[in-house]
Amino acid sequence: MKKAVILLLVVIGFSCAKSDDDTQGVINLRVNGCFDNFESGAKICLDSIFNDSRCPTGFVCVWEGDAVAAFTLTKNNVVKSFNLHVNKKFQNDTIIEGIAIKLLQITPYPVAHQPIDPDDYRAEISVAEN
């Protein structure tokens, strides 16, 4: 019993420990949505999703396709635009102004014969401020 209590305290202690970089996490942005909760005052916005050629559910495709998310990062009144791809054969991460950004996925995933409204798109990104 004593070992179980000690183990529980150790697990709780590690789960509460602060990481070296406490500004990292996963963010889900909608088109025209922004995230601005950085200590440095930076802001990341998802401007659009384009070239969505991912193989829709219900089809058999020659390749998996790709979709591109267009972002804007603003920091210290400097605006930088960049694109990230869901297909790992293309650029899916970047570091701008000390902020590491990686595109994890774009939703919704295409389904055969069901067009996606551009306003329904979401981009899931991971961010870490260095």
Looking up tokens 């791809």, which residue turns up? 85
pLDDT level of residue 24 (50, 70, 90 thresholds): low
- Average pLDDT rounded to a whole number, residues 89-111: 97
Looking up tokens 């990686």, which residue turns up? 102
Check residues 7 and 92 and name the one with the higher pLDDT.
92
Check residues 103 and 24 and name the one with the higher pLDDT.
103
pTM: 0.80
Looking up tokens 């995933």, which residue turns up? 109
Cβ 22 vs Cβ 38: under 8 Å: no
On the CB side of 11, how many CA atoms lie within 13 Å of its CA? 6
End-to-end Cα, the chain, rounded Å: 42
- DSSP code for 6: H
Domain boundaries, the chain: 19-129
**CATH code 2.60.40 for 19-129:** no
pLDDT exceeds cutoff 70 at 5: no
High-pLDDT (> 70) share of the chain, % = 82
Give the chain's length: 130
How are beta strands 99-107 and 122-129 bridged, if at all? antiparallel
